[in-house]
Structure formats: C-alpha cells, structure tokens
Amino acid sequence: MAKKPERPADLSFVQKPGAAGETHQQARDEAGWMTTDQGIPISDNQNSLTVGPRGPVLLEDFVLREKITNFDHERIPERVVHARGTGAHGYFQSYKSHAKLTKAAFLQDPSVKTRVFVRFSTVAGSEGSPDLARDVRGFAVKFYTSEGNYDLVGNNIPVFFIQDAIKFPDLIHAVKPEPDRAFPQAASAHDTFWDFASLTPESTHMLMWAMSDRAIPRSYRMMEGFGVHTFRLVNAKGKGTFVKFHWRPKLGTFSVIWDEAVKINGADIDFHRRDLWDAVTAGDYPEYELSVQAFSEEEAAEFDFDVLDPTKIIPEEIVPLTPLGKLVLDRMPDNFFAETEQVAFCPANLVPGIEFSNDPLLQGRLFSYLDTQLSRLGSPNFHELPINRPHVDVRNFQRDGHMRTTIPTGRAAYEPNSFNGAPRETPAGGFTSFPAAESGEKLRIRPESFADHYSQARQFYHSLTEPEQRHVAAAFAFELGKVETAAIRKRMLGRLLLVDEELADEVADRLGMPGQAEKLKPAAPVRDLPPSPALSQYLKAPQSIQGKKFAVLATDGSDEKLVAELQKRLEAEGALLQIVAPKVGGAKLANGKMLEAHHALAGAPSCLFDGVVAAPSAAGAAMLLKHAAAVDWIRDAFAHLKVIGFTGDAEPLLAAAGVKPDADEGLVRFGKDGAAKFVDAAKKHRLWNREPEVR
Ligand code: HDE
C-alpha cells in the first residue's frame, strides 16, 4: 500500500472526531468540518478517489464530481453594459421631512436610516477591464425602504448619448470591441464608436462630457451622480413635481489626467475598486448628498429645451438644487459575487411618491432591466437573493419557477380567495400612478422639441475652465487619432465646428487636419446660452485634501522626523501618507530604526498618488539615479501637475527627471515647515499653470 502524501499544511483539526459527549453537529461546527453540498463530511480534499495509488479515477467519486461541477458553472453572463463594477453597503438619511414634495416614506423622517446598496461601474468594458478607461460611470443605488425597494440607477454624467431607447443596442454595439477583431477593450477610441457618434447628432452634448475630465474620475468617492431623466415626485395630496436627481460627493469632484489614467491602468487596473475598499474598510466612509432640481410642469413648458429629452440638462442657475439627505457607505460586501455581481437594479423599482416621466429613453429602460436580469441571473426569482430581497415582507401569489427559495403556505394561490384570504390589494396605501392625461396618434416620430443638439454642448464647453477645455480638445484629438477612417474624423470635426469653432480648429490642428472639417447643417439653429459655472468641476473644488493619498519615497538613511511630521500634517487633514521604498522590506532610517514600507518602488509609480515627497538620503538618491522607476516617479508627478516635496539630497533625482527645483509653487523644498508648506500646496490639487509646459 502506498503511503498517503503529506497534507499541504497542518489541517489535522479537520480530521478530529467529536470529543466524548459532543453531538455530531457540535463536533462539525467547532472543528470547522468541510462538507459536500449535501452536508456530508469530506475526509480528503487533496486527492481524488483512484484504483490504487496510480490507477484511474473512479466515476463514483461524488466529492470530486460535485466540486468540479460547481466550478464549471461558477460564471454567469456578465452585464451587457456596466459589467465592470464594485459595490458597497450604506445608509441614506433624509435631512428633514420632504412631505411637500413626495410621500415616499424614506424621505419623511430624519431619524430613519434607510439601508442601501450602491454599485459603481464603467459602461463599455468587460468584467476584467481597467478601472480608468475613458467612460461614463454607473452610479446605481438600491434603497431598501419601508415601502419596498427603490432603485435610482444613474450615471456620473447628467446627459446621455441618445434620445430614444431604440438606439441603445446600436450605441453599445458601436462602442464595444469591434465584432470582427474583438478589440479594443473598454475603449471608445476606435472607428465604429466614432462612426456611430459622428452619424448621430443627438450624441454631441454627451460626447463633450465623455471627452471631459468627468470620464476619468479620481475616485468613486469623488464623483457626482445624476438620475439623468426627469422623474416626478408626488405628495400625499396627489400634487406632482418634476425633478432631476443629483448626487454630490462630500470630498469634492476630482479627476485624473489622461496620461495618468493610461499609466494607472498599467500600474493598478483595480485603482477605483481598491480605493473604495481601502476607504470603507479603514472607516473613512464615503458620503454623498442627494438633491433634486424641482420644477413644475408649467415651468418645464417655459424652458427652451424639452425636459423629456435626456440629452439636456437644466442649468443650476435656472433651477437650483434642493438637498434631500445624505448617503454614507459604511460596509464593503462580504462576497463580491453574491452581492455586487448578483445585485439587480431596475429603474422600474419605485416606491409610492416617485414616478417616471415620458422620457422615451427612460421608458425603454423600464423594460430592459428586468429582461436582462432574467438572462443574467437565470430565473424570475432573482428578487429572493439576499442582496435583492426587500427589507419588508413580500406577499403575493407569484409562484414557482427556477430556484424558488421561499416556501409559500396555504391552499390558495390566487386573489381573491376564501381559504387564506390575505394578501389583498391595498387601494389606499398601494402604489397608484399619477393620473397624467395622455392622448395622441400612434406614430414613430422624434419630437421637434428634441431637435437642438448643439446649444447645450456649446454651453457646457463655455462653462469649463481653460484647463478643462484643453482636456476636452486633447481627448477628442486622442480618440479621433485612433480612428483609421479619415472620413469619420472629418465628419466628427464637422460636428465640433457646430459646437465651437475654436475647439474644432484646436482638434483639427492636433490631428494635423486643419480645414478638413465636413460642412454639416444643424437641424435647429445653434444658440449661445449663458455659461453655467456649476458645470465646471474645478470651479467647485474644495480647498481640501481630505480622502487623498500621498507618498514619500524613503531609502536607507532617510530622516524619521520628516516622515513623522509629514504623516501628522496629512492625517490632520484627513489624507493618507504611504511609504514607498526601494524594497518592500522597508528602509533603515538615519537613526537606525526600520521604516516599514507600504510599497516597493517598482510597484508604486507616482501616478497612484495625489502628491509625492522625495526624501532619500544622499547615498539613497545616488543609488536611485540608476533606477528609471525613481526618475519616472518624479518626472511623472511633474507631468501630472502634482505637488512634489523634496529634500536637498533628492535634488540629483529631480535633475535627472529634468525638473527644476524652483519650477513653480508646486515644488516644495523640505526645510523648516516643509510639511506644512507641502500640505498648503497640495490643497490646490494640480498646478494647472504647469500644463502648457509639459503637454
Ligand atoms: Fe442602463 N442598462 N440602459 N443606463 N444602466 C443596464 O441592466 C439600458 C442608461 C445604468 O450596477 C443593464 O442589469 C438601456 C442610462 C447603470 O448593475 C441593461 C438604456 C443610464 C447600470 C441596461 C440604458 C443607465 C445599467 C445591463 C437605454 C443612466 C448598471 C445590466 C434606454 C441614467 C447597474 C443590467 C448595475 C445597466 C439597459 C441607458 C444607467 C442592459 C436599454 C441613460 C448605472 O438592462
């Protein structure tokens, strides 16, 4: 008889039989016995059942077969769009009663915390695609209210590419990898996307946002959210008010720079999901304010755009935000698949007091989400999964189907019945629809009021600060630069010409195609609307570094006091300092103490941080000069317009990176008050004046 191979680790407790007097169940629980899906204890999880030590594996090995079968079926279809995402649990709390606006229970009592689950996502990429693709971000919130689940399934951009749901499959097919070659992944920078975009004038406003910094957020914690469509709130008296929903992050709205995004995608493909995980698990809970722009039907009729058109915003200068309450994310899921992957959002999940509008894009979504869950989760009973289950009783006579987990009792499964009676409909408290008067002919037609595709695109561009405008032009040039078909580039330049002549010229110039824009005729005259400063991220940026992440590069011989002071100052501002050293084992400081490192330099390029400090010893700096990663650390931080702190000993590194120590106020020499000056400089976030020098 061959000897059994040694076990991989000391797991002998698994084998321990129940001590005398213990029940079998106790023994199983306490010893942490492993079992099959049928609950049968497993004696050996290392070896299949064979005939002799070198013989064939037996078909009767139910332990092996069950394990492999389960493994074979682990994957479910990923979401067609928004496949790549991450989620967190939290709560929503109303600031006060909003009874005048809505009867929705979760917006009445400020002492009530309504549990929520939030899923953030990119749109185009597959599940394993990089977090920092240029893309719209999903911002989907499921409120487990006392009246059932309410889903606010929004994006981080307040408008959309198309006006009618019937165009959605075309849009998504155009942006997804091209079907004959299966690339590019998670990128709009290719022919089919720009072919569709340039042929679809209604996408122009959204394209301006998608090419802006909004499409490369710094963090899910630093991103706005929007319900996009017009919705209707209804109060207890039956009065309806139109609203647009807005989420505002407490930390402010920030983005990375495109070159940084490209590098982050290489250095840490999980940048956003890791950032959320780090913050929530550290107890630094992300917070967002929910507001509405509320307006009456009469006011809507006065606007110079149609509130049912999802390619339009309502400038905040016309309808200001009314804050409703706050959302706090306080717990990461225990299991990504069970919660983040299986969560099923649907814009049709409404509670009494919140209703749809006739926005044709929204109307199409009402059908799509339920349908997609049936294919993704495979059963109409997906609402019974823990993450989707309402936190109130569900009572009805829907029955059976794949994977039913509830066990209904009673003889009758119909309503009304005289056996079990309940549940019955509730005319007084149940969901009723706002009695909007609708009439008209049956037809396929785009309303005339949806025809102006350029005025708001122009308004958006004119509302941005100069650096933001520069980024829009650079993004168009980058994306169109990847388009092989010259005719598509020309057509798109023609669309840009209708938005803003300078922008079109700038993009044409960057493409090396001056004067080649196709001449296009807008369907409606392009108007000059007053700029809306609320559309600029940077005009709204708080002078705070809360939630940001900084790094100090230390070597053997670095100064402990400098690191300690920097850490103290940054933490006092709610920011984080991480130590980067040549080796992950850390650095031996000048005073002989060991400084533990969070990262080895090779794995922590400066693009992963919001600002950096180079604090090597003289010998350390000399050694780092031979490492391209160290020189790039400085060079990239400079090119990404970040604040850079440095000691005198670090100057050779700066010189090697081509960075002048007095280049601008973003270069902070560490002497007296170095840490304090660094923090002050970091509060400006980026050195925008530096940009024309480096790009
Ligand atoms: Fe979605 N969208 N969408 N969408 N959407 C999906 O539903 C769809 C649109 C949004 O984290 C799918 O469960 C159509 C606008 C988010 O699970 C699918 C149309 C907005 C998420 C679907 C739109 C969104 C989705 C894919 C045009 C912002 C991710 C998987 C009429 C207001 C939710 C799924 C999550 C997901 C359809 C347009 C937001 C296929 C047909 C506009 C945040 O049902």
Query: Per-residue pLDDT averaged across 458-470, rounded?
Result: 98
Percent of the chain past pLDDT 90, that is, above it, reads 94
CA 81–ligand 1 middle distance (angstroms): 7
Strand partners, 329: 90
> Who lines ligand 1 at CB under 6 A?
79-82, 85, 119, 121, 138, 140, 153-155, 160, 165, 168, 228, 310, 345, 361, 364-365, 368-369, 372-373
Residues 493-547 pLDDT 10s: 999 999 999 999 999 999 999 999 999 999 999 999 999 999 999 999 999 999 9
Indicate the top mutation candidate among 162, 342, 365 to test ligand 1's pocket, ranked by most ligand atoms within 8 A of CB: 365
Residues 11-57 pLDDT 10s: 544 444 444 556 677 777 877 899 999 999 999 999 999 999 999 99
* pLDDT at residue 322 tops 80: yes
The least confident of 27-41, 548-562, 578-592 is: 27-41
Where b means 16+ CB within 10 Å and e means fewer, 175-205 reads bbbeeeeeebebbbbbebbbbbbbebbbbbb
* pLDDT at residue 9 tops 90: no
Indicate the top mutation candidate among 121, 156, 369 to test ligand 1's pocket, ranked by most ligand atoms within 8 A of CB: 369
Query: Per-residue pLDDT averaged across 376-400, rounded?
Result: 97
Predicted TM-score (pTM) of this structure:
0.96
Pick the closest to residue 156 from 43, 13, 68, 254 (CA basis): 254
Confidence of residue 315 (pLDDT cuts 50, 70, 90): very high
Give nearest CA residue, ligand 1 atom 39: 154
What's the pLDDT score for residue 1?
46
State the virtual CA torsion across 656, 657, 663, 667 in degrees, nearest 10. -100
Indicate the top mutation candidate among 79, 80, 81 to test ligand 1's pocket, ranked by most ligand atoms within 8 A of CB: 81
Q: Which residues contact 241 (CB under 8 A, 6 or more apart)?
A: 101, 102, 232, 233, 234, 235, 294, 295, 296
What's the pLDDT score for residue 29?
80
Atom of ligand 1 nearest to the CA of 364: 31
3-state SS class at 515: coil
Indicate the top mutation candidate among 123, 151, 153 to test ligand 1's pocket, ranked by most ligand atoms within 8 A of CB: 153
Atom of ligand 1 nearest to the CA of 229: 32
Q: Do the bridges between strand 576-581 and strand 322-331 make them parallel or antiparallel, or are there none, so unpaired?
A: unpaired
Give nearest CA residue, ligand 1 atom 31: 165
Q: Which residue has the tokens 């000056």?
A: 677
Atom of ligand 1 nearest to the CA of 226: 32
Tally of CB atoms within 10 A around 418: 6
Q: Which residue has the tokens 């570094």?
A: 545
Q: Are 679 and 545 in contact (CB under 8 A)?
A: yes
* pLDDT at residue 10 tops 70: no
What's the pLDDT score for residue 527?
97
For 488, the token pair is: 């598509």
Tally of CB atoms within 10 A around 231: 21
3-state SS class at 109: coil
For 555, the token pair is: 């070597």
* pLDDT at residue 551 tops 80: yes
What's the pLDDT score for residue 421?
86
* pLDDT at residue 102 tops 70: yes
CA 219–ligand 1 middle distance (angstroms): 21
Atom of ligand 1 nearest to the CA of 228: 32
What's the pLDDT score for residue 22?
61
Give nearest CA residue, ligand 1 atom 9: 365
Q: Are 677 and 668 in contact (CB under 8 A)?
A: yes
What's the pLDDT score for residue 26?
79
Question: Is residue 155 annotated as a catalytic residue, yes or no?
Answer: yes
Residues 619-630 pLDDT 10s: 999 999 999 999
Residues 120 and 220: their CA atoms lie apart, in Å, by 7
CA 343–ligand 1 middle distance (angstroms): 13
The least confident of 420-434, 511-525, 549-563 is: 420-434
Q: Are 214 and 156 in contact (CB under 8 A)?
A: yes
* pLDDT at residue 270 tops 50: yes
Does the N-terminal peptide bond of residue 184 adopt cis geometry, omega within 30 degrees of 0? yes
Atom of ligand 1 nearest to the CA of 168: 27
What's the pLDDT score for residue 31?
79
CA 382–ligand 1 middle distance (angstroms): 17
Confidence of residue 68 (pLDDT cuts 50, 70, 90): very high
Give nearest CA residue, ligand 1 atom 7: 369
* pLDDT at residue 151 tops 80: yes
What's the pLDDT score for residue 3?
57
CA 359–ligand 1 middle distance (angstroms): 15
CA 301–ligand 1 middle distance (angstroms): 28
277 membership: H or E segment, kind and range: helix 271-281
* pLDDT at residue 205 tops 70: yes
Helices (DSSP H) in 610-673: which residue ranges? 618-624, 628-639, 651-656
Helices (H) and strands (E) in the chain, counts: 20, 18
Residues 110-140 pLDDT 10s: 999 999 999 999 999 999 999 999 999 999 9
Catalytic residue among 82, 383, 453, 640: 82
Rg (CA), the chain: 29
Query: Per-residue pLDDT averaged across 279-301, rounded?
Result: 98
What's the pLDDT score for residue 4?
56
For 504, the token pair is: 């079109």
Tally of CB atoms within 10 A around 440: 5
Query: Per-residue pLDDT averaged across 344-354, rounded?
Result: 98
Cα-based angle 420, 425, 427 (whole degrees, multiple of 5): 145
Atom of ligand 1 nearest to the CA of 85: 11
3-state SS class at 683: coil
CA 120–ligand 1 middle distance (angstroms): 12
Query: Per-residue pLDDT averaged across 386-396, rounded?
Result: 97
Question: Is residue 82 annotated as a catalytic residue, yes or no?
Answer: yes
Pick the closest to residue 453 from 543, 516, 526, 506 (CA basis): 526
Atom of ligand 1 nearest to the CA of 165: 31
Residues 191 and 483: their CA atoms lie apart, in Å, by 5
CA 333–ligand 1 middle distance (angstroms): 22
324 membership: H or E segment, kind and range: strand 322-331
Mean of pLDDT over the chain: 96
